[in-house]
């Protein structure tokens, strides 16, 4: 779970190369702040992650599975409900569709998905 939190942190903080996660799953920029917070926890362990150990090298190279993933995402898009979707689902859909969002905020991700849906419908109707 911590590795996923670190990956999410790095996707939001492009200039950071290190993060620190307490046992309760809170992510911090600085180790001192994380350790200070962890002192108040029952389990005061702090895990440190570097961007290089968290990033998926597979993301940098394209594979044959890309078209399968995108096709599955397109099928999911047909029944996508922005109201009930969770942030991880929204983020995964944007990634699987190969879309670029201005930020990783939920509102921007949803706007990116909606713009893609409009573009798809526009192309079909013409």
Helix axes 87-97, 65-78, angle to 10 degrees: 130
pLDDT score for 55: 76
Task: Report the alpha-carbon distance of residue 112 to residue 57 in Å, rounded.
Answer: 25
Q: What is the chain's pLDDT, residue by residue, as a tens digit (126 residues)? A: 788 888 888 888 888 899 999 999 999 999 999 999 999 999 999 999 998 888 765 544 444 456 777 788 888 888 888 888 888 888 888 888 888 888 888 999 999 999 888 887 755 444
pLDDT score for 42: 94
DSSP 57: G
Taking a C-beta distance cutoff of 8 angstroms, is the pair 30, 23 a contact?
Answer: no
Task: Report the alpha-carbon distance of residue 16 to residue 95 in Å, rounded.
Answer: 21
């Amino acid at each position: 779970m911590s590795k996923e939190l670190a990956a999410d942190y790095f996707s939001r903080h492009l200039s950071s190369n290190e993060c620190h996660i307490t046992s309760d799953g809170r992510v911090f920029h600085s180790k001192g702040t994380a350790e200070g917070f962890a002192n108040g926890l029952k389990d005061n362990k702090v895990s440190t992650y570097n961007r290089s150990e968290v990033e998926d090298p597979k993301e940098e190279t394209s594979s044959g599975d890309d078209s399968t993933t995108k096709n599955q995402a397109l099928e999911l898009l047909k029944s996508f409900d922005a109201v009930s979707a969770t942030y991880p689902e929204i983020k995964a859909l944007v990634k699987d569709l190969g879309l670029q969002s201005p930020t990783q905020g939920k509102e921007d991700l949803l706007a990116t998905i909606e713009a893609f849906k409009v573009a798809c419908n526009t192309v079909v109707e013409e």
